Each structure stands twice: as structure tokens, then as C-alpha cells.
Amino acid sequence: MPRYAMKIEYHGAPFVGWQRQAEHPSVQGAIEAALKKLEPRDHTIAAAGRTDAGVHATGQVAHCDLDKNWDPFRLSEALNYHLKPQPVAITACALVDDDWHARFSAVERRYLFRIVMRRAPVTHDDGLVWRVNHALDPDAMQQGANYLLGRHDFTTFRSSICQAQSPVKTLDELRIDPIDGPSGPEIRVHVRARSFLHNQVRSFVGTLERVGSGAWSPEQVKSALETQNRAACGPVSPPQGLYLAQVKYDSDPFE
């Protein structure tokens, strides 16, 4: 059975998350239903990461095994036709080796979190950003973020329902980027690592927002990390500002 890699973009608002659920709409379920239109049988696809309800993706990657040999471009076009009108798109497709795996072959994942600072409600970016009604200090946020870089026990920033075997991860990048965004002053948080714990990025962002607002000092982030206690974490940010932006492999299947 030929195996295909798919690069996927989606708006997370209508879905309970990536993972298929029997009675609720999911991104995985939408794509598997589209595959069933092409090859009438049940399909199971695997993704590089399971995003939560309301989380978006511009660079999710998944793979599927099909019965016939498809031209990758025609496969992506056919899937996009059957995915309409859902906010899911296959932006690239490639034939890969039988042992290639969207999750286990990945060597890096990158997330983006968008925070817009304005008192007025957002209109064009509604559901795509976290709006806060106060200014944030990006320099203080970066100072706090720097304490999280490297290899640590991230129990403090790990969901209580996280299924990872170990809370120890290596964080390669946590960069605070203030920009003049389309909806006003914006903080973009760029996060990069080989793998993440459940809710780790949203826990980082919620904690760093407290630093940016002046409620926490940057040094409190270091103290929270060292406690290895979930209760020391700041508030978890809402999901709508979070994007799975890119998944990297030793050899990019889409090049």
C-alpha cells in the first residue's frame, strides 16, 4: 500500500481538536471521511501532533496508506474537493517510504502564538488571536522566557492529563516578537522543540503574559519551573491564538 504525507492547514474553531471522536467533529475525522470518498473503506491517519479544541495549524503533517497509486497533486486536489466547506486544506502531498511516519520521523515542531493588545474586540482576527486589553512588556516576557530554554523537567508546565512518559524536554527556542499586526500591536511567541508536553505551549504563554503585564517578575518564571509543581504555573492561555506552524524532518518530503 503506498504511503502519502500530507501537509495540512486548518482553522480549529469548529473542531474538538485533531483527534477523531465518535460524536464530535474533528480534523482527523474530516480528512478520514474525505479519504473514504476516494477509497470506500475506513481509514486511519496519523499526525505529527494532536492539537486541542480551538487550536489552528498552518503546517500540520499527517500520513495515510492508500490502495491505489495516486499522483500526489491529484490526491490533494481530490481531498480538498471533498473537505469543502470545512476549514481544512491539504496544502501539499507527497509519496513517502513505507516506514516514514508523520509523528515518529519528525525531528522538530514549531508553534506560533498570537496575542493582540487592544481594548476593542477583534473582528477580522476573531477566533485567531488571544486579545488582551492591556499592554505587555516584550522585554520582560523574553527575560522570563529565557529561563525556560534548554533541557528541564517541565512538570510545572504540563497538563495533569498529559500522557508523556517523562516531563523532561529540551526547549530550543522561546522567542517573543512584538510586531505591528493587522489588528493592532501584537506579541508573537515562537516556540521550537523536538516534542512537547500536553498544554506546554499554552502554559508558557499564559505564564509569560503575567510577566508582560507586570503581575509576575521574570525571575518568578524560574522559580515556578524549579518547583516542578503544576500549581506554580500561571494561567493557561486560551487555545485560539495557538498554531502548529511547522513540522521538520531530516529529509523534507514536500521538497
Distances (CA, A) of 224 to 3, 150, 219, 236: 44, 15, 9, 14
Q: What pLDDT, on the 0 to 100 scale, is given for residue 160?
A: 86
Q: Do 8 and 122 have their domain in common?
A: no
CATH number, position 16: 3.30.70.580
Which residue among 71, 104, 137 closes a domain? 104
Number of neighbours of residue 20 by Cβ within 10 angstroms? 18
- pLDDT digits over 92-132, tens only? 999 999 999 999 999 999 999 999 999 999 999 999 999 99
Residue 210's domain is classified under what CATH number? 3.30.70.660
Tally Cβ neighbours within 10 Å of residue 231.
7
Q: What is the pLDDT of residue 51?
A: 96
pLDDT band (50, 70, 90) for residue 170: very high
> So which residues are the catalytic ones?
52
Question: For residue 97, what are the domain limits?
Answer: 3-104
Alpha-carbon distance values, 26 to 22, 32, 56, 61 (Å): 9, 10, 12, 15
User: pLDDT value at position 96?
Assistant: 98
Same domain, 148 and 186: yes
Q: Does one domain contain both 99 and 29?
A: yes
- Which residues, other chains included, contact 166 with Cβ-Cβ below 8 Å and sequence gap of 6+? none
Whole-number pLDDT of residue 92:
98
Query: Residue 20 gets which letter from DSSP?
Result: -
What are 137-167's pLDDT values in tens digits? 999 999 999 999 999 999 999 998 888 899 9
DSSP per residue, 43-93: ---EES---BTT-EEEEEEEEEE-SS---HHHHHHHHHHHHTTSSEEEEEE
Q: Average pLDDT for residues 42-51, to the nearest whole number?
A: 96
